[in-house]
Amino acid sequence: MAVTGGAWLRPDEIPPGTLYLLILRTLARGGEMHGYEIANSIHQLSDDVLRVEEGSLYPALQRMLVKGWVTAERGVTAGNRRARYYRLTSAGCRQLEVELSQFERVIAAITRVIQTA
């Protein structure tokens, strides 16, 4: 386990500040998706390393709705269950670019620190 800002992180825990990025990118790639599909897609694309828990996913999606980054419509899943389907908005596409830029900047900085002899 690693300590980040005084909190213990499990090795497979999503790093703080990246959940919006992961959700936005998943919706950009997958189009309209319900919450379970979003979480499952992140899990599968990360080779079963990253898990988005419901307690983090749905509050994040709600905040993203308020910010106008996504829209949501009620629908029915293939398993005949009611679900909310989320879709990226143009504001969400712009925010994805911001999130990607910030992430790449941080990763580059971390890389410089760990590669410095």
Cα 79 to the center of its chain, rounded Å: 24
Pairwise CA distance, residues 50 & 41, whole Å: 10
Q: What are the pLDDT digits (tens) for 40-62?
A: 999 999 998 899 999 999 999 99
Q: pTM to 2 decimals?
A: 0.84
pLDDT digits (tens), the chain, 117 positions: 344 444 444 556 777 788 999 999 999 998 899 999 999 999 999 998 899 999 999 999 999 999 999 999 999 888 889 999 999 999 999 999 999 999 999 999 989 999 976
Q: What is the DSSP letter of 69?
A: S
Q: Sign of torsion, CA 39 61 105 12?
A: negative
Amino acid making up residue 78: A
